[in-house]
Amino acid sequence: SQKIEQNSEALNIQEGKTATLTCNYTNYSPAYLQWYRQDPGRGPVFLLLIRENEKEKRKERLKVTFDTTLKQSLFHITASQPADSATYLCALDHQAGTALIFGKGTTLSVSS
């Protein structure tokens, strides 16, 4: 069956450290993968998109990698801050011409 899994429901790290979140999928062949941030009581906000032919994408303190052989994407936040505390969702396109499929998310807590 098709699955998209994010490594853990919760991740707690100290301020200044690098947070690494994992998104694994099975039985999909996505053309791209996206990462979103969701704060309590709000809708998800788009952060980064990485295509199947890209290995890495960066935006400020964020870095995403995409390994289609391992069927995995890693999302890194360097020099994490308490303001980075939120739930992070990965999403992929099921196949061309269909909607986004979301993982259940990982809730990151950064303590000062």
Partner 1 sequence: KAGVTQTPRYLIKTRGQQVTLSCSPISGHRSVSWYQQTPGQGLQFLFEYFSETQRNKGNFPGRFSGRQFSNSRSEMNVSTLELGDSALYLCASSLAGASGGTTDTQYFGPGTRLTVL
Query: Could you tell me the smallest distance in angstroms from the CB atom of residue 62 to partner 1?
Result: 15
Cα torsion 96, 4, 64, 53: sign: negative
Query: Could you tell me the smallest distance in angstroms from the CB atom of residue 80 to partner 1?
Result: 23
Q: Which is nearer to partner 1, 60 or 97 (CB)?
A: 97
Query: Could you tell me the smallest distance in angstroms from the CB atom of residue 58 to partner 1?
Result: 17
Provide the binding-site residues for partner 1, judged by CB under 8 A: 31-32, 34, 36, 41-46, 49, 51, 89, 91, 93, 96-105
Q: Which two tokens stand for residue 51?
A: 């295509």
User: How many other C-beta atoms can be found within 10 angstroms of the C-beta atom of residue 74?
Assistant: 18
Q: Which is nearer to partner 1, 49 or 62 (CB)?
A: 49
Q: Which is nearer to partner 1, 48 or 80 (CB)?
A: 48
Q: Which helix (H) or strand (E) holds 96?
A: none
State how far the Cα of 103 lies from the Cα of 35, in Å rounded to an integer: 10
Q: Which is nearer to partner 1, 41 or 83 (CB)?
A: 41
Taking alpha carbons only, the member of 110, 106, 84 closest to residue 9 is: 106
